[in-house]
Structure formats: structure tokens, C-alpha cells
């Protein structure tokens, strides 16, 4: 049985969804990650999948606009913000990497995580949630950070569809 890790970043609270600032009790990527995990547990067994959420040591502002400014400054500085905890990725054959698109790519704490681990020979299946950018530059950035992994094309999910994205979940699960 192949083992899958769902590695994801997600920020609850004030966010931009379909033209409005809304308060997300649960971040969109967390919603999608939980759906993928539930499907894999049903189809491939309870022990076939684990999840790890990359959480920054220094929280971003709960204010949406301030958070976008902080994220922009980090991207510009090519920063590598620290995250909380860690996981050994070596036991996993497949890594599903989920993230919101921030300024065309994924949040910088996930850059830190990807750079700190060895993904040689592993299959990486990216998915994003977004408000119009799709996958942006994210798949190219993952390829850059994980040059020895087999990085798949990636699947983009609009934030407002996070709770209703069964066909995308199916495509993600089928690409394992």
C-alpha cells in the first residue's frame, strides 16, 4: 500500500472570497485537505494517509489587507519564515501539497518547509485555492524547490468552491 501525506498551508479568518472580505471559520485549503483525507481513508484504508499543516511561528495579521502587505514583503525579500513543528516525509510515496495562492505563488512558510526536506523520487500533487490566479507560478516554484521530485500538473480550486469540489477531489485522488 502506498502512503500519502497531505501537506498544506491554510489561514482562517478574514479573507477575500468572490469580491468580498469574509470571515472563514476554517481556511479553504483545510476544507479541501480534509475532504481528500476522508476520500483516501475510505478508498485506500485508514492508515493510507496523514496530514501536516504548515503553521507559521509568527502569525500573519488577522486583517486581510495587512496580511497581504506582510506576505508581499516576504515574497519580495525571498524570506524563509519559520514554521511550528515538523514531520519526516521519508515514509511517504505521494505528497499532496495544498496552499492558497498568495501573490501568484504559495505562502513563504511552505517555501521553508519544501526547501528543508528531501523529496527525491516522490510524487508531488499540488493543489491551490485561489480567487482568480489558478495555480499562478506555484507549480514551477515547487519544481524549483524539489528538483528531484516528480511534480504533477496541479489542480486549482476557486475558494468559493472549497466545500463543493468533488470532481477536483476525484482528480487529485486518481493522480496518486
49: enclosing H helix or E strand? strand 49-53
User: Nearest distance from residue 7's CB to ligand FMN, in Å?
Assistant: 13
Nearer to ligand FMN, 23 or 42 (CB): 23
Helix axes 64-77, 108-116, angle to 10 degrees: 40
Residue 10 · residue 52 · CB < 8 Å: no
Give the number of other CB atoms < 10 A from CB of residue 86.
11
User: Nearest distance from residue 79's CB to ligand FMN, in Å?
Assistant: 13
Q: Residue 53: helix, strand or coil by DSSP?
A: strand
Q: Is 11 in the site for ligand FMN (CB under 6 A)?
A: yes
Q: Looking at 5, 71, 139, 146, which residue binds ligand FMN (CB under 6 A)?
A: 71
Nearer to ligand FMN, 48 or 51 (CB): 51
Q: Looking at 5, 27, 40, 176, which residue binds ligand FMN (CB under 6 A)?
A: 27
- Could you tell me the three cell numbers for 99? 496552499
Q: Looking at 48, 61, 133, 143, which residue binds ligand FMN (CB under 6 A)?
A: 133
User: Nearest distance from residue 26's CB to ligand FMN, in Å?
Assistant: 8
User: Nearest distance from residue 115's CB to ligand FMN, in Å?
Assistant: 20
Eight-class DSSP state of 160: G
Q: What's the residue count for the chain?
A: 176
Rule CB under 6 A: which of 98-127 touch ligand FMN?
100-104
Residue 124 · residue 153 · CB < 8 Å: no
Q: Is 35 in the site for ligand FMN (CB under 6 A)?
A: no
User: Nearest distance from residue 84's CB to ligand FMN, in Å?
Assistant: 16
Burial label, 96 (beta-carbon count in 10 A; 0-12, 13-18, 19+): buried
Q: What residues line the site for ligand FMN (CB under 6 A)? A: 10-11, 15-17, 24, 27-29, 67-68, 71, 100-104, 129-133, 159
Amino acid at each position: 500500500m502506498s502512503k500519502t501525506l497531505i501537506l498544506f498551508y491554510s489561514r482562517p479568518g478574514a479573507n477575500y472570497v468572490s469580491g468580498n472580505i469574509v470571515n472563514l471559520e476554517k481556511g479553504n485549503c483545510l476544507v479541501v485537505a480534509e475532504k481528500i483525507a476522508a476520500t483516501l481513508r475510505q478508498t485506500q484504508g485508514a492508515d493510507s494517509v496523514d496530514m501536516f499543516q504548515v503553521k507559521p511561528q509568527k502569525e500573519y495579521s488577522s486583517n486581510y489587507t495587512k496580511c497581504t502587505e506582510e506576505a508581499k514583503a516576504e515574497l519580495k525579500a525571498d524570506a524563509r519564515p519559520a514554521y511550528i513543528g515538523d514531520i519526516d516525509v521519508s515514509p511517504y510515496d505521494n505528497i499532496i501539497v495544498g496552499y492558497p495562492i498568495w501573490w501568484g505563488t504559495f505562502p513563504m512558510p511552505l517555501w521553508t518547509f519544501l526547501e528543508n526536506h528531501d523529496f527525491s523520487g516522490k510524487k508531488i500533487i499540488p493543489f491551490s485555492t485561489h480567487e482568480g490566479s489558478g495555480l499562478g507560478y506555484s507549480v514551477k516554484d515547487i519544481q524549483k524547490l524539489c528538483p528531484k521530485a516528480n511534480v504533477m500538473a496541479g489542480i486549482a480550486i476557486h475558494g468559493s468552491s472549497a466545500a463543493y469540489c468533488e470532481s477536483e477531489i476525484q482528480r487529485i485522488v486518481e493522480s496518486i
